[in-house]
Amino acid sequence: LGDPKEGILVNVGGPRSGKYLKASIIVEFNPGKKSVINEETNSLQPDAEVKVNDVATQFLRATSLEDFDADKQDEFKKQFKDALNAALGGGSVYDVYITSFLLQ
């Protein structure tokens, strides 16, 4: 999500928290979902890419600081996957992988 090298950067914990999250998240999509994946280029359809970025930004910004705790990572990933599937259609997302995570 976000820039392939830089990841995504959002403020979290509310507008006055002063906290920022920089994360790289890889989303595994269902290749059979033609509304999501362009078979010719094996990339996201343009409208799906917009939805994914919007859901990611909204979801991350709405997540409380406590929910970023390492003990809650599995639940965080499940909720994020569910939010993506709600926007893209059920079964669109197989899994979510967090490859880097910096909360400051």
pLDDT digits (tens, 9 = 90+) for 45-73: 999 999 999 999 999 999 998 998 989 99
Domain membership of residue 3 (yes or no) is no
Domain membership of residue 93 (yes or no) is yes
Structural domains of the chain, count: 1
In which domain, by residue range, is 20 found?
Answer: 8-103
C-alpha atoms less than 13 angstroms from C-alpha of 31 in its C-beta half-sphere: 4
Domain membership of residue 1 (yes or no) is no
pTM confidence score: 0.88
Domain membership of residue 85 (yes or no) is yes
Q: Closest by alpha carbon to 84, among 38, 29, 37?
A: 29
Domain membership of residue 19 (yes or no) is yes
Whichever domain contains 85, its CATH number is 3.30.479
Q: How far is CA 42 from CA 25, 37, 49, 86, in A?
A: 18, 6, 13, 22
As a whole number of angstroms, the distance between CA 10 and CA 8 comes to: 7
pLDDT digits (tens, 9 = 90+) for 2-33: 666 788 999 998 878 899 999 999 999 998 89
